[in-house]
Structure 1
């Protein structure tokens, strides 16, 4: 492997200027405009972020990112390539930190970068799995990985190396699904392929794509803090739960939504002390209640035992649920969506659990104006994408997770929280989706 890495380095050292000349000739001003537009859109508006271009070469992406105003770091194994990139940066008056390194072992602290980008790199990697894990390590929680590739009849590949090296490249000719799987296996979430329609490619049978992934913010340490919060406050939550809520009306609404087929397997995710799962079991559905907090589940179990209800209670986070694909007919939750640090990841997981034709019902209290409800410490509250979000945001997340027939329906017969009169700006909604 070391001999191969050395051969790759030497190949690019020798051909650095030739490679750069080719890209300079084939990139028109219009091309550059489209590239910069795509970068700005996918990196985001915050110019204070730290961006690292891995396999930066002669700086095609790094230079444009620096021109856009981002704080840029360029990593490449080839001194020759970096020297050309450094000359370009100096000529343009751009400040870029150039680092000579293998992209699988970057001399950089954990969680130190906001965005990692690469272009025409994935297929050239001898060990893409290890490279992606390294990039995952370097990214901050919530950071983005943007892998720019061409995909077509022959995937993203050329012939740069000797045949013995070419034969060792796992992603040479890989399609979009293989690239997406590589990011997912490295731990990235919300992975998607974004086609760059405006950007032309020299080969007519290929198109440019960004394979985009996010380093999730839901770390084990964060989950532990959330779990501890609910364990400590489970009793108080249980005492207050149901206050100003008409339980009989909730039962009517839930049965009307879930239907009359009591053979349906239902899982209530984030069940807490069992408000919804207890109602579902009372109606007669085959019910599972899932929650991260043992303290909350203890109260739910006690209530179920008191009522002689059969409910399968499971301790788990709602983003990674220990059931096989297509295990349930219905997924429900109440007052959960806005508390999630990664709502899309969670909803994708719920989609996985459902049988084809299965349904999702998310009960959310919507209130116009400032949101004062606060369950967590401020750093967690600040990371909740759906806190105080409008109806459209919940619909967008559920659609993005793959659900169809998505809609948000105000439940005007249910009393809103805090005892106010129900209006469309202050009421319970159910967000429905079908797999």
Structure 2
């Protein structure tokens, strides 16, 4: 299996240019608005919502772009990422926007949040990088309050999810190259009360252009 130090080094090196990807940096208004609308659908509430603000754990938060959208919607966000440089950028992004938020350096598969429980756990394009994704799914569900929401934005990539080779040994990762919606649903279903899958590959505005691979969101409700 790949070593966490190698994975950390890879994403640290990727941090500087990470936001250049349209769906990472969300610098274009149309892309940012499209993601904000998705999050509002998957995680209703926030400042203006009848359900009120939610405590959201963003695992593998990267540079905090989705965390920022959640905070702007009125949710209270805790982000976790293995790469210190990603966390530095997320903190800087929140500071520049004057938004409250907490960001921790740690293993997103086993978030260092102690016994804290959350109303929602969000993960985007993370499970393919994990040596033990099934253990991570259990850990995330365990951090949800009863009736909480798990949102997994994932896909099965037509090509490598990131430019250039991933860390040595990546070919042995269980879901290297991504995971299809049916397989992920089969893995999550025993852990939750119910779930739905929402295709996203036909929405080019989310990605900065058309995509040809499988992309989707899995939204599940905790027991």
* Other structure's SS at 2:19 match: helix
Following superposition, the deviation at residue 12 of structure 1 comes to 1.2
Following superposition, the deviation at residue 20 of structure 1 comes to 2.2
Following superposition, the deviation at residue 21 of structure 1 comes to 3.0
Partners of 1:109 and 1:138 within 8 A in 2? no
- 1:90 equivalent among 67, 70, 95: 95
Correspondence 1:21 to 2:20: yes
Partner of 2:48: none
Correspondence 1:56 to 2:61: yes
Comparing 89-98 and 46-55, the one that deviates more: 46-55
Relative to structure 1, the CA distance from residue 160 to residue 85 in structure 2 (aligned partners, 3 Å threshold; closer, same or farther) is farther
Correspondence 1:205 to 2:204: no
* Other structure's SS at 1:18 match: helix
Partners of 1:200 and 1:207 within 8 A in 2? no
Partner of 1:76: 81
Partners of 1:75 and 1:99 within 8 A in 2? yes
Partner of 2:181: 176
* Other structure's SS at 1:89 match: helix
Partner of 1:381: none
In structure 2, runs of 5+ residues without a counterpart are 46-50
Relative to structure 1, the CA distance from residue 211 to residue 156 in structure 2 (aligned partners, 3 Å threshold; closer, same or farther) is farther
Tell me which of the two structures has the higher relative contact order, counting C-alpha pairs closer than 8 angstroms and 6 or more residues apart.
2
Structural RMSD (CA)? 2.3
Following superposition, the deviation at residue 68 of structure 1 comes to 1.0
Partner of 1:126: 131
Partners of 1:110 and 1:140 within 8 A in 2? no
In structure 1, runs of 5+ residues without a counterpart are 217-435
- What pairs up with 1:31-430 in 2 under 5 angstroms? 31-45=31-45, 46-110=51-115, 112-151=117-156, 154=158, 157-158=161-162, 161-164=166-169, 166-172=170-176, 173-185=178-190, 187-196=191-200, 197-198=202-203, 199-201=205-207, 202=209, 204-216=211-223
Relative to structure 1, the CA distance from residue 87 to residue 28 in structure 2 (aligned partners, 3 Å threshold; closer, same or farther) is same
Relative to structure 1, the CA distance from residue 212 to residue 52 in structure 2 (aligned partners, 3 Å threshold; closer, same or farther) is same
User: Under a length normalisation based on structure 1, what TM-score does the superposition of the two structures give?
Assistant: 0.45
> How many residue pairs were aligned?
212
Relative to structure 1, the CA distance from residue 90 to residue 114 in structure 2 (aligned partners, 3 Å threshold; closer, same or farther) is same
User: Under a length normalisation based on structure 2, what TM-score does the superposition of the two structures give?
Assistant: 0.85
Following superposition, the deviation at residue 62 of structure 1 comes to 0.6
Equivalents in 2 of 1:18, 1:28: separation in Å?
16
Relative to structure 1, the CA distance from residue 114 to residue 156 in structure 2 (aligned partners, 3 Å threshold; closer, same or farther) is farther
Relative to structure 1, the CA distance from residue 64 to residue 160 in structure 2 (aligned partners, 3 Å threshold; closer, same or farther) is farther
Partners of 1:155 and 1:175 within 8 A in 2? no
* Other structure's SS at 2:111 match: coil
Relative to structure 1, the CA distance from residue 114 to residue 25 in structure 2 (aligned partners, 3 Å threshold; closer, same or farther) is closer
Comparing 119-128 and 15-24, the one that deviates more: 15-24
Relative to structure 1, the CA distance from residue 25 to residue 13 in structure 2 (aligned partners, 3 Å threshold; closer, same or farther) is closer
Correspondence 1:8 to 2:14: no
Following superposition, the deviation at residue 206 of structure 1 comes to 2.6
Following superposition, the deviation at residue 155 of structure 1 comes to 8.4
Partners of 1:51 and 1:116 within 8 A in 2? yes
Equivalents in 2 of 1:102, 1:174: separation in Å?
20
